[in-house]
Amino acid sequence: MSSRTVEELVSGILRGHRRDLAQAITAVEQDELKADALLSALPPAPGAFRLGLTGAPGVGKSTFISKVVPLLIESGEKVAVLAVDPTSPVTGGALLGDRARMSSDMGDAGWFRSLASRGSTSGVAGCTDHAAEILARAGFGIIIIETVGVGQDEVDIARLAHTTIVVAVPGLGDDIQAMKAGILEVGDLFVVNKADRPDADKTVGYLSNIFKRVPPGAWSPVVLKAQALHHKGIAEIWQAIEAHQSYRASSGSAQVARAQANCEIELRSFLQQAVHQELSKQIDANPEMLKAVKQIVSGETDIYAVTDDILNMLGLSGKALGDNRNSL
């Protein structure tokens, strides 16, 4: 996992050592399957609250976080921020952009970490869920997850967060229309930031009209204005977040169904990662691989036949693959 053992990292995390926490997150970021050993050794933290923020680049997600975190810390909360950033093509790490400024303002009760998206198009890194759970078990009561800001594909945040905020700015127009099939469907709150700009009320009205009709008993998304840079609207937004939390607590059956659906998605993802890793090890260790590559290049066989042969060699049926590729 690192130069430290799982026991050493867990012991350090529970004693509040930031370096051990950082090493644990790094280990999970590099290999998600390592989360199992860490989470098995850390005590559960079912009461931690996850807040998700998504929206196009430049709408003010990071600014909102930088204003709300000090208020939460001042009220006695321990707050962690996971900010998903584009991946550097050189190092494979996160391109921090202007996120670095956030970490310097959080103090001892706050914690900031940038995660590399590593090719994910869902707005969150693959390890985000495990990283958030480790932070919760490290004693952070509120975990804020900021997506990379790639657009309407960022729907995974709704699975990871208890409350999801979609941040927009005035004048999006056609962009909002295009977003309707994506992130507009997963937001619990919608914040029109930079509300001192022209057309702010028009944007609020447009968004509000989208959510006029909701099924009886369902949560009706709230649309609010803010000027995060000037601390305007922050308190009202947090009140709306608390209202959504109260709704979640009172709608037990709906939340259980959502939790079960999310758990199934997570379980499938974890199983796929585990199977992929194990198969990769077996394939890499197979001496027939190089021979098969040479045969494919020379034209003696094709990649489909070789795939079937390797699957059969590993004890898996290659017939299903053959059936699938012969049907459209």
Query: For residue 106, is pLDDT > 70?
Result: no
**Cross-strand pairs, 82:** 113, 145
pLDDT number for residue 196:
93
Task: Note the pLDDT tens digit of each residue in 257-288.
Answer: 666 766 776 677 667 777 777 777 777 777 77
Comparing 3-7, 147-151, 199-203, which segment has the lowest mean pLDDT? 147-151
Find the angle CA(318)-CA(319)-CA(320) to the nearest 5 degrees. Answer: 95
pLDDT number for residue 9:
92
Strand, helix or coil at 274? helix
pLDDT number for residue 326:
46
Burial string for 87-106 (b: 16+ CB within 10 Å, else e) reads beeeeeebbbeebeebeeeb
Query: For residue 25, is pLDDT > 50?
Result: yes
pLDDT number for residue 40:
86
Query: For residue 181, is pLDDT > 80?
Result: no
- 20: confidence class by pLDDT, cuts 50, 70, 90: very high
Average pLDDT estimate for 200-226: 85
* Sign of CA pseudo-dihedral 57, 69, 101, 103: negative
What is the Cβ-side half-sphere exposure of residue 73, based on CA atoms within 13 angstroms?
17
Comparing 76-90, 126-140, 186-200, 208-222, which segment has the lowest mean pLDDT? 76-90
Of residues 314 and 172, the one with the higher pLDDT is: 314
Task: Note the pLDDT tens digit of each residue in 120-139.
Answer: 444 455 678 889 999 999 99
pLDDT number for residue 211:
80
Instruction: Give the β-pairing of 222-225 and 110-116.
Output: unpaired
Strand, helix or coil at 239? helix
* Sign of CA pseudo-dihedral 205, 206, 207, 212: positive
Query: For residue 12, is pLDDT > 50?
Result: yes
- 232: confidence class by pLDDT, cuts 50, 70, 90: very high
Query: Which residues lie closer than 8 Å to 175 by C-beta, 6 or more apart?
Result: 56
Distance set, CA 297 to CA 22, 97, 121, 293, 294 (Å): 45, 43, 33, 6, 5
Task: Note the pLDDT tens digit of each residue in 61-104.
Answer: 989 999 999 999 999 999 999 988 755 433 444 444 445 545 55
Query: For residue 222, is pLDDT > 80?
Result: yes
Average pLDDT estimate for 11-37: 86
Q: Return mean pLDDT, the chain.
A: 78
* Ordered structural domains, the chain, with CATH: 1-42 (no CATH), 44-250 (3.40.50.300), 262-325 (no CATH)
Q: Phi/psi of residue 76, each to 5°?
A: 105, 5
What Rg value do the Cα atoms of the chain yield, rounded?
23
Strand, helix or coil at 166? strand
- 205: confidence class by pLDDT, cuts 50, 70, 90: confident
